[in-house]
Chain A
Amino acid sequence: MAINIYDYKHYKLFLLIPLALLFISLYFIPKIQLDSSLTGGVNVQLTTNSTQSIRNLSAAIGSVFLDTRVERSSLSGVTSLSVTIPTNSSLNAASQKLQEIFSIYSNYSRERLRVVSYQGVLLKEPNNITAKNGLAAASANETKWVALINSKLISEIADLKPLIANNTSYNASDAAGMQKLARNLYANASSIYEVHVINVLKGIVSFTTYSYNDVTPTLGSFFLTEVTNIIIVAFVLVAITVFVIFRTPVPAFAVVYGAANDIVIALGAMGAFHIPLGVVSVGGLLMLIGYSMDTDILSAIRVLRRSEGTAGERAMATFRTGITMTAAAMISFATLFAIAYITFIPEYIQISGVVLVGLVADIITTWFGNAVIIVWYKRRHEHAH
């Protein structure tokens, strides 16, 4: 007969293992690296025949773009590189000015409309005092908005100086013209920057095909809040459903605790092992809720609702089934992780990385945490009767 860990006298002490992992993970969570989809920035992916080492490449690229992250993988002589460069501060500042110019312009057109309609009234009744006063006020406002657009445009041009030679001349009283110029300057500067980035990279490694992805910091932080919200909402919905299924607080709590612990440990492991968190990671984290439920529910139902053998024996039998299940899931994600790591597809690395560390955490949480609580609960219940 094999050893049954649930028949060990002090089996309740096992609970300390997942709890310890939980606290260690909490320490590492703040160290999680966000990728460019969440922080904003430029990501270039390219394939090259170059055989330079990652250290040389990082140093060469990093000497031009500070805080650049380079990741490299190779398969049958073809090397794939992923270069992540922080957002260009000039472009970022200019994009904020551009947004402001657009909103000022809508104020301007409202005043412009007032000016014209008062002019129309005055044409018919030249002595209408209300219209005269209205016209004066509207004209003053109109001038104010045009001046504001001009000052924003001047500072946008100043922001973009590093990218665009400053020989832009324009009519400072033509609001529509200035708005259009502001937009064109920003678009030109963005594409000049793209060409610059690609040229710098071409000077370091040779490549022909590439993919260029630019995420603005505001969009990145918006995505981060969305990712957080989605995970919280999903977790709450699942927790409610679990309580509906079990209708008894302790087992339901054990199942929900299992899932929460897995996610926290997975996040901590991402911080500790430098697995970047990106928009795609949310898929992996939600999947983790699913996988963790699989084994938690299996152990809870088998231990609580069956009658053959003792609670400990049922838990141990379920342990074998559960480990087989988790191992099978790990095999499918390990395949994806290995392939993505060799051929370098960051989306797959992020998703499978999260799920893999989460599944390791799940084995510990389920069988030393969740199952222990369930067995303990069942035994107390049996004693009571």
Chain B
Amino acid sequence: MHIKRYITDRRIYPLIMIVVALALLDLYYGLHLGIEFAGGTQIPITLVHGVNATEMQQLISIIDQRVSTFGLKQVTVEGIGNSEIYVIVPTVSEAEINKTISIIESQGAFMGIVNGREAINGSNILSGSIGAAPPQSINNTVSWAVSFYITQSAAQNFARVVFGQANQPLYMFLDRPSDAVVLINESVLGNTTLGLTPGDALSTMQKVLAFGNQTIQVISVTNTNTSINSVRAFLSANRAKYKTVLASYNLNASLLAFIKQENYTLKLESNSNMTPSYFKISINTTVIDSWPMVGLLSAPLLNPSVTNGSIANSYQISGIAPASLPKAAMLAYAQNQSKTIASVLSGGALPLSVIVGTPTKTSPTLGKGFLDISVYGLVLAVVFVSIFIIVIYRRLFLITPILLTTIMELFIIISVIGLIGTIDVAAVAGMIAVVGTGVDAQIIITDEVLVKRELQTSTRTLLGHAFYIIWADAALLTIAMLPLLFSTSLVDITGFAEATIIGALMGAFLTRPAYGAIIARHYGE
């Protein structure tokens, strides 16, 4: 046979290469299915007033960040128009959905600790009073500031707690774990660049975590039996006091098993999570200014003016960007720092109120049924259309090129959408539409080459005629679908536009030229 002649045709081999590449990517990354097929829940969130595109992006990223940090995997957050957001979770479990909703609605608990005593907490701060001023740049220093108001009684408490604590850190925690023990592998304790010994590091950490009877214990563990046994003894003795153990992931396996056996909630942490970020404030003193594992997000130093016993209603947290940075980076640093502080103070709150609507659930069994039906639909559509073409033209040879090009076209669409987007009901409907347009183009090509051959025109000219029409059609279909593709509100059906546009473009530049080449080689050239 002349298979080699077909494969080396420059209108055919690019198609084969692309299909092979996509097949490899599909195998490696897998295809994403929408909740209609995979099962899942869509939670609608209504914003109390419309927002502009930037604000919408900001809201989406806050919600996204919040649900992902709480360990919810594969959550999709989509903006609909300017006042609605969909959160899509791949589960139908009532408990998981309620957890997601409460995470979206809730705000984190902010707590400021000075020298082991609570100086301020989130409920002391007046809502709406937190303001981040734009960074100030004077003589090559860039400073930032966040101001806020607190209630009268909170102001008195704050003045009492910080009295005499000038230049001490105010440890700002968001959702500080309670009833917790930290087990840290001794090998990750010290910090050689700052000249910090493991002992120094441990005592610095203990200072951060001290808080009366809510102190988080931090214990350094080595792989020796003595060390492991003493940890075991500590955990057994304090079973009533602590509930959670935050541990280095590379601790002794038998110790980890023991922790679970004692019914502690065990959270394994990577070394980078375990290691706090240190900040040297003077030659002898190093403090910790952030430690995400325990919710410590910032540790500004107390200005002497607030630690002399006077009471004030408004406070300001300010700082200076490191002078070692280039100017632009200093501004960005200051901006970021004030944003972080403002968001910590407000408990990571959303910038405006939201109303969570009734979740839409699709059970995985129902979804599996939809998927099966959709696959049958696609396969049957291809089969019926192919039979129709062969009956019309009465040429059995046509079955191979028609099936090959149609299947490859579908395969490319499924791969591209499944790899970068989500295959949903709308995308499958779009694929059926592509079967239709693809066959239409094949009919135009076949008609030109077969029917008009009697006119003694060269096959090349005939194909040229056909492709002029095919390219015009593809361009018009793509243009017709563009408004839907870029719609920010009808996101449920943008899959339809994605499928038809990919189909039209792939068809015009890859699969239909390949079909034309096969027909031309067989009947002409």
Residues of A near any B CB (own CB < 8 A) = 45, 47, 95, 98-99, 102-103, 105-106, 109-110, 112-113, 116-117, 119-120, 123, 176, 179, 183, 186-187, 190-191, 194, 209-214, 216, 219, 222-223, 226-227, 229-230, 233-235, 237-238, 241-242, 245, 279-280, 282-284, 286-287, 289-291, 293-294, 297-298, 301, 306, 308, 317, 321, 324-325, 327-329, 331-333, 335-336, 339-340, 343, 345, 347-348, 351-352, 355
**Interface status of B202 (Cβ within 8 A of chain A):** no
Residues in B whose Cβ lies below 8 Å from that of A117: 149, 313-314
Residues in A whose Cβ lies below 8 Å from that of B353: 102, 105-106, 179
Of B44, B370, B479, B482, the most chain A CB neighbours within 10 A belong to: B479
Binary interface profile of B, 341-358, with partner A (CB < 8 Å = 1, else 0)? Answer: 000000000001101111
Contact in complex: B380, A335 (CB < 8 Å): yes
**Interface status of B84 (Cβ within 8 A of chain A):** yes
Residues in B whose Cβ lies below 8 Å from that of A328: 385, 388-389, 436, 439-440, 443
Contact in complex: A113, B149 (CB < 8 Å): yes
CA distance A123 to B437 in the complex (A): 77
CA distance A15 to B483 in the complex (A): 32
A-B contact pairs, 30 of them (CB 8 A): A102-B48, A102-B353, A109-B128, A187-B101, A210-B366, A211-B366, A214-B357, A222-B84, A229-B483, A233-B483, A237-B482, A238-B480, A241-B479, A279-B492, A283-B429, A286-B484, A286-B496, A289-B476, A291-B437, A297-B473, A306-B465, A328-B388, A328-B439, A329-B437, A331-B384, A331-B388, A332-B439, A333-B432, A336-B377, A352-B429
- Which residues of B17-49 have CB atoms within 8 Å of chain A's CB atoms? 36, 44, 46, 48-49
Residues in A whose Cβ lies below 8 Å from that of B48: 99, 102-103, 106
Main SS at interface, chain A: helix
Contact in complex: B469, A298 (CB < 8 Å): yes
Residues in A whose Cβ lies below 8 Å from that of B128: 106, 109-110, 112-113
Contact in complex: A120, B489 (CB < 8 Å): no
CA distance A188 to B295 in the complex (A): 32
Contact in complex: B496, A351 (CB < 8 Å): yes
Main SS at interface, chain B: helix
A90 to chain B, nearest CB (A): 14
- Which residues of B284-311 have CB atoms within 8 Å of chain A's CB atoms? 311
6 more A-B contacts (CB under 8 A) besides A120-B313, A238-B476?
A: A113-B128, A120-B314, A289-B476, A290-B481, A293-B477, A333-B381
**Interface status of B502 (Cβ within 8 A of chain A):** no
Give the tally of cross-chain contacts (CB within 8 A). Answer: 255
**Interface status of B433 (Cβ within 8 A of chain A):** yes
Residues in A whose Cβ lies below 8 Å from that of B9: none
Contact in complex: B443, A347 (CB < 8 Å): no
Binary interface profile of B, 500-524, with partner A (CB < 8 Å = 1, else 0)? Answer: 1000100000000000000000000
B476 touches which one: A105, A229, A241 (CB < 8 A)?
A241
Task: Name the residue on B nearest A329 (C-beta).
Answer: B436
A245 to chain B, nearest CB (A): 6
Contact in complex: B484, A339 (CB < 8 Å): no
> Which 3 A-B residue pairs are closest in the complex by CB-CB distance?
A329-B436, A283-B496, A120-B313
Contact in complex: B430, A234 (CB < 8 Å): no
CA distance A113 to B36 in the complex (A): 47
Residues in B whose Cβ lies below 8 Å from that of A291: 436-437, 440
Contact in complex: B361, A98 (CB < 8 Å): no
B461 to chain A, nearest CB (A): 11
Contacts A103-B49, A234-B480 given; indicate if A290 touches B385 (C-beta within 8 A).
no
Contact in complex: A223, B455 (CB < 8 Å): no
